[in-house]
Amino acid sequence: MTDEPKSPPNGGTSDKPVQRAAPAGPVTSPQKPAATSPPKPTPKPIVKPEPWASPLLEALQERFPGAISDALIFRGQAFFTVQKERLIQVAEFLKSEGGGSYCLLTDETVVDYPKREKRFEIIYQLYSFERNDRLRMKVLAGEAETVPSVTAVWPAANWLEREIYDMFGVVFEGHPELKRILLPEDWTGHPLRKDYDILRQDPEWVRANLKIESGQ
């Protein structure tokens, strides 16, 4: 984690014009894949993810041809995207000894890119005690698509997936008890979606349960 070259980039000198409308995703933006930008010879501050090469990735690609894409590394943190259909197999492989025994699912969350074709990027943060290594696995899902649940592989995903369902409305297939966890059961809307305004609420629910006109 500490082995990456450290150099202080100036936060202001981003070399690209900021595109507010379509936030450029690091991995899946089809126009300018981050991996294709050639590394410059001069030691410039690392501001872009670089292609990731490792025996584990080779093993993954060999075992699941075509399922792994966009394998990158940034600040010593490797991540890659998995085809949704192969998610469970890849997860099981990663948890097994041959795959590095990534047996701790540290976190599971979603980043929402509403402008993309598949707006949800589900992110699995994995940790292997044996290799003392972290790995980030991503799965893409569209608005109406379901995602296979990894609760069978990592039971820790139970509440994490419930939270994602609660906050983003992503439905997990095979989850034992998929219901809201932080918000009330009868709440409408999924607040962490980008199109859910920060001031928005469920006025019906507020009126019915809190007996007030507005929660703000």
The residues binding another protein (CB under 8 A) are 1-2, 6-12, 14-16, 18-20, 23-26, 29, 34, 45-49, 74-75, 77, 103-107, 109, 111-112, 123, 125, 129, 132, 134, 136, 154-156, 158-160, 163, 167, 180-184, 191-192, 194, 196, 198
Nearer to another protein, 184 or 203 (CB): 184
Nearer to another protein, 86 or 136 (CB): 136
Distance CA 147, CA 144 (A): 10
Q: Shortest approach of another protein to residue 65 CB, angstroms?
A: 27
Longest dimension (CA), the chain: 64
Distance CA 135, CA 123 (A): 10
The helices-and-strands tally (H runs, E runs) of the chain is 4, 8
Nearer to another protein, 64 or 74 (CB): 74
Q: Shortest approach of another protein to residue 13 CB, angstroms?
A: 8
213: number of Cβ within 10 Å: 9
Q: Which two tokens stand for residue 139?
A: 């799965």
Nearer to another protein, 93 or 168 (CB): 168
Q: Shortest approach of another protein to residue 134 CB, angstroms?
A: 7
Nearer to another protein, 51 or 85 (CB): 51
Please write down the HEC assignment for all residues of 158-203.
Answer: HHHHHHHHHHHCCEEECCCCCCCCCCCCCCCCCCCCCCCCCCCCCH
Q: Shortest approach of another protein to residue 9 CB, angstroms?
A: 5
